[in-house]
Amino acid sequence: MKKESKIYVAGHKGLVGSAIWKNLLAKGYTNLIGRISSELDLRDQKAVEEFFATEKPEYVFLAAAKVGGIMANSIYRADFIYQNLQIQNNIIHNAYVHGVKKLLFLGSTCIYPRDAQQPMKEAELLTSPLEYTNEPYAIAKIAGIKMCESYNLQYGTNYIAVMPTNLYGPNDNFDLEKSHVLPAMIRKMHLGKCLFDNNWDALREDLNRRPVEGVNGSSSEQEILTILDKYGIKHSNGCTVELWGTGAPLREFLWSEEMADASVFCMENVNFDDLVREIRTSSPNSQEIRNTHINIGTGKEITIKKLAYRIREVVGFGGQIAFNSDKPDGTMRKLTDPSKLHSLGWHHKIEIEDGVKMMYDWYIS
């Protein structure tokens, strides 16, 4: 990419897209384009066709997606598979039709089987059944990987698929129903701290910024306590924050701005032909080109319980943490093997213990 190249970041206001946008600007790229959903509905085939025909981007970062945590994935299964397939199909196909030079597709490590060998190498893809709770989302992302591979093999395009591990960072989603585990725990602990400290001003300020099911800072105390109780923030024994599952699952987390740096690194330095060459070097007799995607992760993991107590320490929550074992844990372990990324020349720097404090500092500011 040249500094003046026209670069489209799909989803540029989200956790992933905003981090990529910031990284590109910091590296001197000057011709970035983005559209919020009210300006361009990526599920609308005709609208996406018109956008590509008019704007003619040279490079595309496909960071737009419908995302959520275990609760949202369990409830909105149809939405997660249908909307993500719509977004991916429209952007990847129009990138080909309108001559985009290179595209980076961002997936998720939930593409790997529930019982995948740990840590998960790229070759683990499609070797056994997926985790049930997020199977629709995972299938959509697998389709995105295969779409990139297939267009590359049939049409000679240069589309790279990267699979980030669990991400967290600035502009994350803190919705109590739809957020991922780390931002959900941070907000729960913050609201719990407000209740425990009897700091209703801070509690109402938080709800004014991010109402929960229509309940905001102007709602009555009883309305606020009722909605918080529904989401596991219970005004009993000072305050108890309830979390789903046993706390035993292990998870890997990557600071979103580091993921962005790795993504831009791949766009600048890695081509599909390089990945094909690596496959043929390791299996010289193989005629099959698959698993060309790249894991983006730390290769390190932490239990949900240990993470919860680290968040409690950073937030300063003085109440209790309770784990509800009647709720699902999800996949028990999901650790990436980032050795392919390391061999290409990129490594992470921010560890989760420091990242939690950075995340909370961002949230309260």
Residue 102 has φ and ψ, to the nearest 5°, of -160, 145
Q: Greatest CA span in the chain, whole angstroms?
A: 70
User: Among 311, 297, 298, which residue's Cα sits nearest to residue 353?
Assistant: 311
* CA R_g for the chain: 21
First to last CA, the chain: 35
132 catalytically annotated:
no
Residues 6+ apart with CB under 8 A from 285: none
Residues 6+ apart with CB under 8 A from 357: 314
Kindly name the residue from 96, 137, 168, 231 that is annotated as catalytic.
Answer: 137
User: Among 335, 327, 360, which residue's Cα sits nearest to residue 165?
Assistant: 335
Distance of CA 324 to the CA centre of its chain: 25
Do 176 and 231 contact (CB within 8 A), yes or no? yes
Do 63 and 84 contact (CB within 8 A), yes or no? no
The string of DSSP letters for 280-344 reads HHHSTT--------EEES-S--EEHHHHHHHHHHHHT--SEEEEETTS----SEE-B--HHHHHH
For residue 361, what are its two tokens?
Answer: 């500092």
- Residues labelled as active-site residues: 137
